[in-house]
Amino acid sequence: MSSTWLFEILSGIYNVEFLKLSRCILQALTDFPELLEKLPDQFQKLKHVMLELEPPSVHAVLNFLDSFPCTETLVWDRCPDESWFSRKREEWVANLPFQRIFKCLKTFVMQNSSDIEVEMKFLEFLLERAIVLEELIIKSWRPSYSDMKKKLLSVPRASSTASISFPENDFL
């Protein structure tokens, strides 16, 4: 995908409040980060975002939130690739930008959750930095997340009002 083609598509979008981005668009935005800098006014009203991501794109989520700081709801529809995690786990965690603060994110939903250990690192990171977070929702095909629930409930939170829920078999 060329950056010119993607720029033309994105520059045609104005005043959207909800946006769903596929894996290939997110990968292109990761490959061409300068595109987001060229579109500062396009997404000022963007409040709700759904991202279809593979695990290597976790940094795309963070870059996306930087580029669209008014995002209040973020749905991360996971496309798991367990083999990637086994090869890149340490690198992924080591490269999280620990100075980042999320000032508008109120709701975060992780769908198709599958790799508890790695997801915990990201969710801890988010809970510690989302200062107005109201809801963290984890939807999974797995029947039980009792260990993850216990760990998440003990994580320090930037927002005193953040609730954590694990609805069973209830996908958006």
Q: Is residue 5 part of a domain?
A: no
Residue 123: give the domain boundaries. 13-165
Main-chain dihedrals φ then ψ at residue 43, nearest 5 degrees: -120, 30
End-to-end CA distance of the chain: 29
Predicted pLDDT of residue 84: 45
Predicted pLDDT of residue 151: 86
Main-chain dihedrals φ then ψ at residue 142, nearest 5 degrees: -70, 140
22: three-class secondary structure by DSSP:
coil
pTM above 0.85, yes or no: no
Predicted pLDDT of residue 32: 78
Q: Is residue 107 part of a domain?
A: yes
**Mean pLDDT (whole number) for 5-23:** 81
Q: Is residue 19 part of a domain?
A: yes
Query: 120 vs 129, which has greater pLDDT?
Result: 129
Query: 59 vs 44, which has greater pLDDT?
Result: 44
Q: Is residue 123 part of a domain?
A: yes
Q: Is residue 171 part of a domain?
A: no
As for how many domains the chain has, the answer is 1
| CATH label of the domain that carries residue 82 | 3.80.10.10
